[in-house]
Amino acid sequence: MFMGEVRYMWPDITNPKAQIQWSSLVSALITTDFVAITRWVLKDGSPPDIGVCIPQQEFPGDGKKLDLMYWVKLPFADDDHKFFFPSLTKLKSVEGNEITEHPYLPTKEQCDLMDELVLGMDLDAVGRKPKVEKDSDDEDEEDEEEEEEEDGLAGRWFDPARCYNPVIHRIKEAIFHASVTQDPKAHPLPPPHPDLVKYFNTPEEIVKKVEGVTERLKDALDIKKVPARVRRKAAREGFAEDEG
């Protein structure tokens, strides 16, 4: 079971001896179909992380070969916990009899409405251009555009390849802004790029599409807003002058 991010590992590019030794290790692991279990210590005094090194050889061309490894963190025994949860679709009484009707068991109406809600929130259908039959005069278009139109992906709203991590980019923007700005208070960090916050809000097309089924699902599930509990302040009575 892998954990965390994947790291690339390669030898010192200025040390030919280290490159030869690294290449021999990678070739031996690939030949024997083995991986290497290692410990990773990020800095002095930090606890070690156990991980696996997966060898990889790439051939960019022109007789070149690139030997590298992927390092992935592995869990310790304390990181692997096994929990057992009761069934969500079957409920039994204390006597062991199966219960068919219960507030915890979904009904067919609730399941159908939930399926309709999930299908209505399909992001692949947002922003797609409808397929249009082409005339013979359009045969000179680029191949990439033709493939996108054939797959129905042209102009789609959600593209996993363009879905960036806003946290990483925002941190880098803040560091760069602080390094080139003498007075950050007078010149604060500008707002993030629109592409970074594009997926923060649900498309209006999806909201309108599932508005009706959402209200019906609320009624079927009997969803009610629970008022916030107000905690009473503890009475400070009965304390001496030097207490409390």
Query: Per-residue pLDDT tens for 144-161?
Result: 555 545 454 556 788 888
Q: What are the C-alpha distances in Å from 124 to residues 129, 203, 207, 236? A: 11, 12, 15, 59
Query: What does the DSSP assignment read for 199-219?
Result: GGS--HHHHHHHHHHHHHHHH
pLDDT of residue 130: 58
| 192-207 pLDDT per residue, tens | 988 888 888 888 889 9
Amino acid letter for position 74: L
- Among 26-30, 127-131, 196-200, which is the least confidently predicted range? 127-131
Taking only the tens place, the pLDDT of each residue in 3-18 is 778 999 999 989 999 9
SS3 of 121-149: CCHHHCCCCCCCCCCHHHCCCCHHHHHHH
Q: Is the model's pLDDT at 129 over the cut of 80?
A: no
Give me the torsion for CA of 200, 204, 205, 207, rounded to 10°.
90
Topology annotation, domain 3-78: Ku70; Chain: A; Domain 2 (2.40.290)
Given pLDDT bands bounded at 50, 70 and 90, which one contains residue 81? confident
CA distance 75 to 53: 14
Cβ–Cβ < 8 Å for 126, 203: yes
pLDDT of residue 61: 80
Percentage of residues in the chain with pLDDT exceeding 90?
38
Is the CB of residue 49 less than 8 Å from the CB of residue 39? Answer: yes
9 and 26 in contact (C-beta within 8 Å)? no
Report the candidate in 152, 153, 125, 129 with the shortest Cα–Cα distance to residue 210.
125
DSSP 8-state assignment for residue 197? S
Least confident of 99-103, 110-114, 165-169, 212-216: 99-103
Among 90, 93, 116, 125, CA closest to 104: 90
Is residue 240 scored above 70 in pLDDT? no
Average pLDDT over residues 176-192: 91
pLDDT over 70 percentage in the chain: 83
